[in-house]
Structure 1
Amino acid sequence: MKKLLLLFMLCLSFCTGMYAKTIHWLTFIDTTDRNVGEIDKSSRQLLYSRWIDLVNTTLKDNGYSVNIVDIYDSNTSPENCKKIVNSFNCGSEDIIVFYYIGHGTENTGASKYPLMLMGQLDANKFIPLSWVHDTLKNKGARLTVTIGMCCNARQGVAGRITPTFGANYGNTYVSEELSNCIKKMFLNYRGNVLITSASPNESSWACDTTIGPTDYFTFSLLDQFNNELPETSNPTWDSMMESIKEDVYNNVRNNVYIQNKFPGSTQTPIWETHLTSASTPTPTPPDKPNTEDVSDKSDMLNTLSNALAYISSTKVSAKERIVMAEKLEKAFDNNAIVRIVSQDGNLVLHKENISIYLGRIATSRLLENVTVVDATGTTNKISSIRVREIYKKR
C-alpha cells in the first residue's frame, strides 16, 4: 500500500498548480448500533452521493482537491475523533466540513449543542460538538462547517415521507444552477458555521424515503442542495437553515407514528453562523494534512480520486490528461476492472478495463468528475475499483 501511495503522489505532482487548496470532509457515522445502524449506513451513502460528490465536483474547477476522512463502523470512537480533530492541519484557503451521524445527549449546563456518543456508552468519553467546532475553526481554514445529527433517543424508522426527488439508478448529474449555488455557499464566505439537528431535550427522528432510510435533518439538507437552493438567487447558510428548521419541525409534528407513540414530540434544528462575505479564493499551497490517524486505504482512495478528477477535467489540456493517465495506469494490474456505479444504490452500470477507462476519461469533453467509491488489490497493484461519474446537466 505504501508503494501505491508513493506512486500516486508522484502522479499528482503534475497537478499541484491546479489543486493548491483542499476541501476536507471529516465524517463520523455510527453504523454499528443495533437500533439505527442500518439507517446510518444508508444516510452515509446518501450524504456522499447526494451532497459531498456534488460539492467536490463544483469546487474542483476552483482549484480544490479533496481530502476525505470517512470514519464509520468500529472506527467510530471518541478516541479516534479526539485524535483526528486535534492533529488535523490545513491551509488558510481550505474548507473543513465535519458531519456526525449517531447517538447524542444534551450537554447539560455547558452548551445548547449536544454531546456525541461516538459509538459507545461511557459518559466520561462523550465528545462535545462545540469542542469539535471550536478546535476546527481555530485551525485557520477559510470556512469551517460543523454539523451534528444526533440526539439521546434510540429509535428505528419512524413513518414515511414523500421525497421531492426519487432514486437515481443512472449516472450523477450536476446542473449549472446547483453548481452556482454550491459556489455561493462554500466560496462566497469566510468564517464558521455550527449546526445540530435538534434543540436540547429533543430527539432526532429517522424517516423512510424512496432513496433509502435516513433522518429528517439529513434528508432536508439534501433536499435543499438538490432542489431548493438552486432556485434561490442569493442562498445563504442562515436562509437554508431556516428552511431546514421549518421542514424538519413540520415533518415531525405531522408524523402520525411519532405523535401517537411520543405525543407532543418536536425536532427543531439550531445553528449559529459567524461569516463574512468573501471573493472567490485564488490558489495558494495549503499545509499538508495530517493523516496519521487515517488508514492507508483512505489515503489511497483520496489520492486516486484526485488523480482521476485531474484526468477527467476539461480545464486541463488533452496532452496533460493523457500523460497523467499513462502514469496512473502503472499502479493497476493489466486486467484491472473499473465498475461505474449509479448515484443511488451502487448499481453497476458498466464495466471497463482500466486502460480503456483511463483513455476514455482522458479524452472526454462531457465528464465533470470521477469519485472513487472503493478499490481492491495487492500491496503492489490495484485489481479493481468502483467509481461514480458526475456529468454536467445540459
Structure 2
Amino acid sequence: MKTGGCPTLTVLFWLIFSTFGQAQTFYAIVVADTKDPVLIDACKRDMDVMHRQFVQMAAAIQYSLDERIVAQDDFGQKKLQAVLQEISPQPNDILFLYYTGHGYNLKNRTDRFPILMLEKEDALAGQNPGLLSIHTQLKKKGARLCITLGDCCNEVIDATRTTGRKRIPPKPLVLTNDSLNRAYRKLLLDVTGDVLIASSRPPQEACAHPDSGSFYTRAFDEMLEVAARSGADLSWETVLKNTQTQLSRYIATRFKQSLYEANLRETRQSAGRLTVYSSPEQPLLNREGVVEENHLTEQQLLDFRALTEQKVNEFQRYLSVIADPEQQDNIRELAIENALLLFLNDATMQVGSSNPKTAVKTYPIAIYLRRLKNLEKRYFDINIAFYDLALVADWEKTVSGYETTATYFQHFQAFNPKGQLVYAAKTAKQMAVDLQSRKDPFYEENRWTVLLGDVRLAEKGIGSGNKK
C-alpha cells in the first residue's frame, strides 16, 4: 500500500472543497417594539410578515437562514449591539436588518434618515442610533449584500406612530415556486452592494394599524410578491418605486413619501457597472406634467383639501397632549413646538367664555398654547375632546395661491382633585387655511404647502362653572 504523498496538495484539496461545500447564510435581524402599548399588535403583525419573507428569500436562493430577534424584554440598544457583534458574515452572505417601532428626527440634524427609539427614557435618549449609522455598521461586516429597512416615524414629536383606518390584510398572492425563486434570485443573487430604506421622509409620521401592521411594511410585502409575477424588469429600484406608489394609494399614507438609497453592482461578469440611485423628489405636476408656479389642478386641490383635514386633526391631537397634565412635560413642550409648525407666524387664536360679560379675547397662537398648558395650575385634570369631523370649505383663488376655512368642534372639560367636573364648554372654531408655494426649510426648495392661520370662535361656547 502506498503511504507517501504530497502534504501540500492534500491541504490545498481540503481547503478548496471545504470552502466550496460551505453554505452561504442569509442573516435576518428583526428589531420590533412589541412591548409598546400603541404599536404592540402592529409590530407583531410586521414580524410575521417579514419572517415569512425571510423564509421565502432564503429558501429561494438556497441560503441557510440565521434569524435574530430583538423584541419584548430584549428590545433596546444593548441587545441590538450584542446581536450585531455576534454576527460575522462571509463575503458571499446576505445581511437584512428590519426595524419596526417608534422613530424621530431632530431639527438641526443633517441626516434625513430617522433615529430609532430603542431607548425611551430621557436619560438614555442619547444612545438611540440613527438608521443610517446602523446601516453603516452593517456594511462594514463585509457581506455581499446589505439591506436595512426602518418602518418608523421621521418627525420631531412624541415619536408616536399614528394609526390609520382599519384595513383587512390582503390575501397573499398564490405564486408558483419557480416565479418566487426567479424573483428572489434576481434581487438577492444578481447584485452586490447595499440598500437603505426608511418608510418616511422628514418631517413625516409613519402609519400602522393593529390588524394589518405598518403600512409601508405591508406595501413592501405586496410589491415583492407582485414583482415576482412580472419578473422581466425586476430590480430593487422597481420594487422600491412600486412600494411608494402603493403607499400613496392608502388614504392614511396618501401624502407620505419614503426615503431610500441604493449602491448596487450586478454580479454577472458581463455587467459589473455600479448603479447608484435614491428616492426621487415628487413635485406636484399638472396634467401635462409641468410644474406651475401659481396654479393647481382640481385633483391637486382635492388632495390638499384632504391634507388640510389631516393637519386640523394633527392640531387637535397636539391640543389634547398640551392640555393633559398627566403627559410628561417634555412631550407637552414638543407638542407645542410642533403645533406651531402647522401655523403661519402671525396666526392668532380667539378664546371666550360662557359668561356673557366676558369679552372674546385674541392671543398669538404661541401664547394661547402656553396658556393652555398652564391651565394645570388652575385645574387638577383637563380633557379636550373633538366631536364631528372637521369641515373644510372649497378653495378660493388668491393672488399668491389659494385659501379656505376649516371648522372644528371642541369639548373642553376641567375637573377638581375629587374628579368632579368644574367647567365644561362646547365650541365651534373656524380657522383660516393658506395654500401657497413656499420655500421648504428642510428641502431648501419651493413647494406647495398648507399652513393654518387665524382661529376665531364660530359659535359661542355652551359652558358651566368657572371660566376658562
Q: Please report the TM-score for the alignment, with normalisation by the length of structure 1.
A: 0.58
Name the counterpart of 1:269: 258
1:86·1:135 contact (CA, 8 Å) conserved in 2? no
Name the counterpart of 2:45: 42
Name the counterpart of 2:215: 216
Q: CA deviation at 1:150?
A: 0.8
Which residue of 138, 141, 144 corresponds with 2:143?
141
Q: CA deviation at 1:215?
A: 1.0
Q: CA deviation at 1:247?
A: 1.6
Change (3 A) 1:183 1:68: same
Which residue of 183, 188, 191 corresponds with 2:190?
188
2:191·2:265 contact (CA, 8 Å) conserved in 1? yes
2:135·2:148 contact (CA, 8 Å) conserved in 1? yes
**CA distances 1:85-105 after superposition (whole Å, capped 9, x unpaired):** 245311000100010001010
* Partner Cα separation in structure 1 for residue 87 and residue 64 of structure 2: 16
**CA distances 1:324-358 after superposition (whole Å, capped 9, x unpaired):** xxxxxxxxxxxxxxxxxxxxxxxxxxxxxxxxxxx
Name the counterpart of 1:89: 88
* Partner Cα separation in structure 2 for residue 154 and residue 76 of structure 1: 17
Q: Following superposition of structure 1 onto structure 2, how do residues 285-364 of structure 1 map, counting pairs within 5 Å?
A: none
* Partner Cα separation in structure 2 for residue 242 and residue 86 of structure 1: 33
The letter for the 2-side match of 1:131 is S
* Partner Cα separation in structure 1 for residue 67 and residue 58 of structure 2: 10
Mark the runs of 5 or more structure 1 residues left unpaired by the alignment: 1-14, 259-264, 281-394
The letter for the 1-side match of 2:224 is F
* Partner Cα separation in structure 1 for residue 168 and residue 21 of structure 2: 41
Q: CA deviation at 1:161?
A: 3.7
Which residue of 164, 183, 187 corresponds with 1:158?
164
SS in structure 2 at match of 1:221: helix
* Partner Cα separation in structure 2 for residue 71 and residue 86 of structure 1: 13
Name the counterpart of 2:35: 32
2:204·2:256 contact (CA, 8 Å) conserved in 1? yes
Q: CA deviation at 1:157?
A: 3.9
* Partner Cα separation in structure 2 for residue 228 and residue 22 of structure 1: 24
The letter for the 2-side match of 1:136 is L
Which one scores higher on RCO, CA 8 angstroms, separation ≥ 6?
Answer: 1
Name the counterpart of 1:236: 235
Q: CA deviation at 1:162?
A: 5.7
Q: CA deviation at 1:249?
A: 2.7
Which residue of 268, 279, 296 corresponds with 2:268?
279
**CA distances 1:35-61 after superposition (whole Å, capped 9, x unpaired):** 111111111112212x1111121121x
Moved more, 82-91 or 69-78: 82-91
1:32·1:119 contact (CA, 8 Å) conserved in 2? no
Which residue of 193, 201, 204 corresponds with 1:202?
204
Q: CA deviation at 1:110?
A: 3.4
Name the counterpart of 1:106: 105
Name the counterpart of 1:56: 58
**CA distances 1:89-132 after superposition (whole Å, capped 9, x unpaired):** 11000100010001010154231101001253432121111111
Q: CA deviation at 1:18?
A: 4.9
Point out 4+ residue stretches in structure 1 off by more than 4 angstroms. 15-19
Mark the runs of 5 or more structure 2 residues left unpaired by the alignment: 1-17, 270-468
Name the counterpart of 1:346: none
**CA distances 1:288-342 after superposition (whole Å, capped 9, x unpaired):** xxxxxxxxxxxxxxxxxxxxxxxxxxxxxxxxxxxxxxxxxxxxxxxxxxxxxxx
**CA distances 1:162-200 after superposition (whole Å, capped 9, x unpaired):** 65x4169xxx97531121000000000010011100001
1:191·1:275 contact (CA, 8 Å) conserved in 2? yes
Q: CA deviation at 1:155?
A: 4.4
* Partner Cα separation in structure 2 for residue 112 and residue 156 of structure 1: 20
Q: Please report the TM-score for the alignment, with normalisation by the length of structure 2.
A: 0.49
Name the counterpart of 1:67: 66
SS in structure 1 at match of 2:249: helix
Change (3 A) 1:167 1:157: farther
Name the counterpart of 1:176: 178
* Partner Cα separation in structure 1 for residue 213 and residue 100 of structure 2: 10
Q: Following superposition of structure 1 onto structure 2, how do residues 248-267 of structure 1 map, counting pairs within 5 Å?
A: 248-251=247-250, 254-255=251-252, 266-267=255-256
Change (3 A) 1:32 1:79: same
Change (3 A) 1:107 1:27: farther
Name the counterpart of 1:20: 23
**CA distances 1:189-225 after superposition (whole Å, capped 9, x unpaired):** 01001110000110110146xxx42011100111012
The letter for the 1-side match of 2:247 is V
2:98·2:148 contact (CA, 8 Å) conserved in 1? yes
Name the counterpart of 1:245: 244
SS in structure 2 at match of 1:250: coil
2:190·2:268 contact (CA, 8 Å) conserved in 1? yes
1:146·1:194 contact (CA, 8 Å) conserved in 2? yes
Name the counterpart of 1:392: none
SS in structure 1 at match of 2:59: helix
Please give the root-mean-square deviation of Cα atoms over the aligned residues, in Å: 2.6
The sequence identity of aligned pairs, in percent, is 19
* Partner Cα separation in structure 1 for residue 22 and residue 247 of structure 2: 37
Name the counterpart of 1:382: none
SS in structure 2 at match of 1:70: strand
Whichever of the two has the greater Rg, that structure is 2
Change (3 A) 1:66 1:124: same
